[in-house]
Amino acid sequence: SSGSGSGSGDSKRDALLAPFVEPAFLQQIKEDITSALQAQIANAEQYLTVYAPFADLVSNKADEDVDAFLATPKQFVDFVKEVKKYRGMADSIMFERPKVVRKGVFELSCELANKELCRRAKALADKLVKFVQTQAVTRNTEICSQFQEAADMALTTPRDTEHLMQLKSFVDKFKIEKLPRLEAEVEQARARLYFLMENTAFDKSEVELNAATFSWLSRFEPILEQHVELIKTSRQKGEEQLRQRRDAFNKELVAYQAEVASFAEHGDLAAVPQYDAKAKALNAKLEDGLQLIEGFNQEEEAFEWEITQYPLRHRLVQDLDPYLKLFDAVTSFRAQEDTWLHGPFGDIQPEAVENEVGSIWRTLYKLEKSLADKPKPCSIAKAVKDQVDAFKEHLPLVQSLCNPGLRDRHWEQMSVIVGFQLKPDEDTTLDKVLEMHLEQYTEQFENISEAAAKEFSLEKALSKMKGEWAEMEFTVLAYRDSGTAILSSVDEIQQLLDDQIVKTQTMLGSPFVKPFEEEMRAWNTTLVTLQDVLDAWLKVQATWLYLEPIFSSPDITAQMPREGEMFRSVDSNWRSLMANCVAEPAALAATSAEGVLEQLQQSTLLLEQIIKGLNDYLEKKRLYFARFFFLSNDEMLEILSETKDPTRVQPHLKKCFDGIGKLEFSPELDILSMFSGEGEKVPLIESVSTSAARGQVEKWLLQVEGVMRSSIHDTISRAMVAYAETPRDCWVQEWPGQVVIAVGQTYWTSEMHEAIRTHRVHEFVNKQNKQLEAVVALVRGKLSKQVRTTLSALTTLDVHARDVTVDLVEKDVQNDSDFNWLCQLRYYWENNNMMVRMINSTCEYGYEYLGNQGRLVVTPLTDRCYRTLIGAYTLHLGGAPEGPAGTGKTETVKDLAKAISVQCVVYNCSDGLDYKAMGKFFKGLASAGAWACFDEFNRIELEVLSVIAQQILCIQRAVLDGKKRFIFEGTELDLNPKCCSYITMNPGYAGRSELPDNLKVLFRTVAMMVPDYALIGEIMLYSCGFVNARPLSVKITTTYKLCSEQLSSQFHYDYGMRAVKAVLNAAGNLKLQFPDEVEDILLLRAITDVNLPKFLSHDIPLFQGIISDLFPGVDLPEADYSAFKAAAQQVCSDLKLQCEPVFVQKLIQTYEMMIVRHGFMMVGEPFAAKSCVLRVLAGTLTLMAANNAALDPPVEQE
């Protein structure tokens, strides 16, 4: 029990002694301790900021900085600054930083850190000092080397006068150019020495080098004095030697004079070889004397003496010349006469003999005259001239018998004449022939020889022509991955062939061709055959190249099996032909092979049938889907070849539908919706199944056309209902742009009718202003690109509608049948269909999807044009706007087509158009019910215009007769009466035709003169969100008016509508980028960016004066092109170009021009960097895109 009691007492004691601490209190204590410790640690860590100036030493960045510093050339003072910086760091660490620091409860030991940082700073300073020391050794060695070289040259003893002058020139040049520089370098070396003495120690070699370096300046002065003395002594010696050599040469000339005089006594004809040798030896001495004289003159010039002329030597050369010619002519004639008379008869060249004999005779004739006062040499000339005259008598016979063109038949003819065998053999010589005394037959021989010569020339020409073909080969290139080849360049072969055919036919007409007429005719046949083969070959190749990609498509081959089979046959022939050509590329052999011409002719016939079948096939497809008429054959084939995968037709949709950029396909390849080129989506009212068309692209494209119109009609009908139920500022953002404009115009028309009837037009103006303000407020806000485009077009038309309403108020229109109201373009929704009316013309809305595009600003000129064009359309006539460039002729036609929602195809006419191409176009026009705008129509040739008049008349009559189908140029077509043709003309241009009368009556003309630039500018600026649009538009037009009056006249200056439009586009882009910027600044930047790049330097100050007057007090802020400039700098460096400021300026100007223009022309002198600007700009934009620094995509340049 006691035990139990004791145990019970212990447990009670334990329970009493155990402390109880609240967990929250314990947690609070822990947090307080932790907070206190953290505060102490933070206080201690705060001390690290003291070492912040030395962070680079810790991170080793200082080592990298020093390495980078040493890697680039630097001045000595830069080294001194760097060394002082690191020495200063070391001293600051060692003497200003304590070894121990107390911070609260912590004691910081800094001694080891200070020592390490100090060591690193000193090491970097020592590294720099070592570099300077190495540099000093190198530079001092170079200084000593240059002084030593100069001293050696200065103390060299001249070998001759030339060497003397070289030494003197070297030392003089050294004193003027090198010595001052070396003195400056010695001073720099002195500064380096003082610096190094303070920072390092020198070894023995360095001490000696320094001593030598600084001693040279004092040692060099005596060396120069010795040089002067040495030059003086050497000059005196050289002058004396020159005098002696001149005197000796004068004595030699006197001796030569006596020798020349002795030739007048030489008259022995037998001794002429000795005379010739003696004269040539004397002439060689006189030529050597000329070299001596030139040397004397050079030394005289060096010694600054008067130049000696030595006229005696010149006179001796002249006196000796006739003797040289005489002896040379005599020796030459005797040697050649012996060769001609006793050498092989066949080696004699008659022309060479005649030329040589004639030359010798003329020389002797002249010498006989000039040596008349010297009897003995004259007798030699006369005697040899007589011998030459005697030999000349034999020349006709030589020319006849030694003609290289003589053949056996000619020798037989001459043998018959003389009565014995005359043909020479290997023992025959001219001497033996002359002994036959054949002079009496000379005239007959000449006739035979002349004929032989003509025959020989023809024979040589034929051999030459054949030889030219020996090395002529076809150039063959592998064609893509087709496994075969094609002929590359045949220009050289064709030129040779043409030349030789003409030559051969000329030679066949010669009377001397008979001996080898058969051979010549055979060669002519070969050439003509070659020409035929080559023509056929090139024709087959051109057609094969066109058809090969087409029939490589299994889809096309499946649709044209007969033509596919024929092409396989042609392809097999072609591959066989080219394989043979690759194996034997010689042109003559390849074209002369058996069966080549027949094979090519057969292929040509097959290809013609294939082309006809292909055209018939395409015509059938065009008749089924009329919009194919507006496409070329190549574009059609690209579309038709995509039968298995309809999605691959998408890139070509734009060619058939103006507004459809792409289609949305379901997984089953059903078409669900259409997208415009701008990205606007419009769901289709019903899906189009491409699989049901079974690969026939034209079938589902025709369905797309129908569903497109139904979908736009349905969307308009739903939008008409929604307009009345939804606030307008929300409604305009919910529907496609085309629908918004059409429905908006419809409601405006109906509300205007109501306002006129109730006499509340002036109240309607207020309502329109509020609507317009609401839309403009939206434009100034943040919108998607699609909505912004829609609102821009809507604003353009709303402003016009408001202006029309204001005009009706001013004219007090009380009746909706008033002409002022009827002359406007009005929209009506009647019987679930939209109608467009203007005056008494009514058109059905076309429901062609046009995408989300801008609209033209409607000016009074535009309205007048609309009235004429729509009136002509109602009467089934065409319209013909005429006027200068830039007045909006084409754009007005296109905009009217947008207003009525019909397809409008713009066709740029040229003088190369023919009636067949136009006929194809008109077929599409009539079948598709589209509008066509033939731009610059009067550029077409007059003869073609007459045919076009009949084509247009045929269509117009069919429309007037209400036909559903009609015959056009032999083809029965479906007729859509909505079709219409419009033409635009600029009468002021050169090379334009006057329209024939039968064409004029088919069109109603409208004059398009200068548009209202200010009104256009105001409305476009307003649609871009500009508040102050009216005065700004006036400033644009005033700027261009003043520029046209004050600036110089240049071909590339343009102040018309296109220039104004570029400024307005640029201003709209800037407003979008900087919506809160001052509008004057935005417009000034737009005008400057668009125009400044094209002005010449002398016009820029005038232009800047104009804009400073129009925009007083407006300072243009500098655009931020820092990223662009950095990228341009890098691209220039990669291309090894200098990135000059003016070059960068042109890069920026070109980029800014590129943003607001479809295309532009670089104008400048050669080597003005035009191409370099384009290459560098392409590289810059690509680099910025790669670095995500630009909105533009990477650039590809060709």
Distances (CA, A) of 197 to 84, 87, 229, 704: 14, 15, 41, 93
Predicted local distance difference test score (pLDDT) of residue 1197: 38
- Minimal CA–CA distance to 259: which of 275, 244, 272? 275
Looking at residue 1, its pLDDT comes to 37
Ordered alpha helix ranges (H), 393-480? 395-401, 408-418, 430-435, 442-470
How do 931-935 and 904-908 pair as beta strands? parallel
Helix (H) or strand (E) holding 483: none
Taking residues 1000-1022, report their average pLDDT.
86
* Per-residue pLDDT at 606: 92
Query: What is the model's pLDDT at position 161?
Result: 66
* Residue 1052: closest CA among 1112, 1099, 1095: 1095
Q: Which residue has the higher pLDDT, 842 or 993?
A: 842
Termini Cα distance of the chain: 113
pLDDT classification of 823: cutoffs 50, 70, 90: very high
Q: Tens of pLDDT along 765-789?
A: 999 888 888 888 888 778 888 888 8
| Look-up of token digits 């009706």 | 808
Element (H, E) at 47: none
**Confidence band (pLDDT; 50, 70, 90) for 432?**
low
Q: Say if residue 1158 is exposed, middle or buried (CB neighbours under 10 Å; 0-12, 13-18, 19+).
A: exposed
What pLDDT score does 1193 carry? 42
**What one-character DSSP code corresponds to residue 1168?**
S
Which span out of 690-694, 872-876, 1194-1198 was modeled with the highest average pLDDT?
A: 872-876
Q: How many angstroms separate the CA atoms of 992 and 385, rounded?
A: 78
CA gap 639, 215 in Å, rounded: 91
**Could you please report the per-residue DSSP string of 1013-1052?**
HHHHHHHHHHHTT-SSHHHHHHHHHHHHHHHHHHSPP-TT
pLDDT of residue 7: 44
Q: 8: pLDDT confidence band, cut at 50, 70 and 90?
A: very low
Q: Which of 281, 291, 274, 273 is nearest to 256 (CA)?
A: 281
And the tokens for 235? 């000059």
pLDDT digit string, tens, across residues 164-195: 676 766 777 777 777 788 787 888 888 878 87
* Bridge partner list, 473: 586
User: Comparing 824-833, 902-911, 1011-1020, which segment has the lowest mean pLDDT?
Assistant: 1011-1020
Q: Which residue has the higher pLDDT, 1002 or 387?
A: 1002
Confidence of residue 1176 (pLDDT cuts 50, 70, 90): very high
Q: Determine which of 298-312, 462-476, 801-815, 893-907 has the lowest per-residue pLDDT on average.
A: 298-312
- Please, what is the Cα angle at 116 between 114 and 121, to 5 degrees? 95
pLDDT (tens digit per residue) in 236-252: 676 666 677 777 777 77
Residue 1192 has phi, psi (to 5 degrees) of: -75, 145
Residue of 130, 123, 135 lying closest to 74 (CA atoms): 135
Between residues 406 and 950, the one the model is more confident about = 950
d(Cα 1023, Cα 796) in Å, to the nearest integer? 6
Confidence at residue 822, expressed as pLDDT on a 0 to 100 scale: 92
Most confident of 331-335, 589-593, 600-604: 600-604
How far apart are alpha carbons 636 and 287 in whole angstroms?
A: 85
**Dist. CA 334–CA 350, nearest whole Å:** 18
Q: What is the pLDDT of residues 546-587, one digit of tens each?
A: 888 888 878 788 888 898 899 899 999 889 888 888 888 888
* Average pLDDT rounded to a whole number, residues 372-376: 75
pLDDT exceeds cutoff 50 at 478? yes
Would you state the pLDDT for residue 2? 40
Q: pLDDT, tens digit, for every residue of 601-636?
A: 999 999 999 999 988 888 898 889 988 888 888 888
Does residue 1003 register a pLDDT over 90?
A: yes
Q: What is the mean pLDDT of residues 39-46?
A: 79
Identify the pLDDT of residue 207. Answer: 83
- Tens-place pLDDT, residues 520-552: 888 888 888 888 888 998 999 999 988 888 888
List b or e across 51-89, with b for residues whose CB sees 16 or more CB atoms inside 10 angstroms: beebebbeeeebeeebeebeeeeeeeeebbebbeebbeb
**Residue 863 C-alpha from the chain's centroid:** 44
Q: With cut-offs at 50, 70 and 90, classify the pLDDT of residue 1195.
A: very low
**Average pLDDT across the chain, whole number:** 82
Q: Quick one: the chain helix, strand, coil %, rounded to 5?
A: 70, 5, 25
Instruction: Provide mean pLDDT across the span 870-887.
Output: 89
Instruction: Say what the pTM is.
Output: 0.59
Which residues 6+ apart lie within 8 Å of 86 measured at CB? 62, 121, 122, 124, 125, 128
Judged against a pLDDT cut of 50, whether residue 1194 lies above it is answered with no
- CB contact burial 820-847 (16+ within 10 A = b; e otherwise): ebeebbbbbbeeeebebbbbebebebbb
pLDDT at 345: 62
**What pLDDT band is residue 265 in, cutting at 50, 70 and 90?**
confident
C-beta separation of 1189 from 1127 below 8 A: yes
pLDDT, position 55: 77
- Residue 482: the pLDDT is 80
Question: Rounded to whole angstroms, how far apart are CA atoms 446 and 1074?
Answer: 100
Q: Which of 919, 929, 940 is nearest to 983 (CA)?
A: 940
Q: What is the pLDDT of residue 85?
A: 84
- pLDDT for the residue numbered 102: 81
- Between β-strands 826-830 and 833-838, what pairing exists: parallel, antiparallel or unpaired? antiparallel
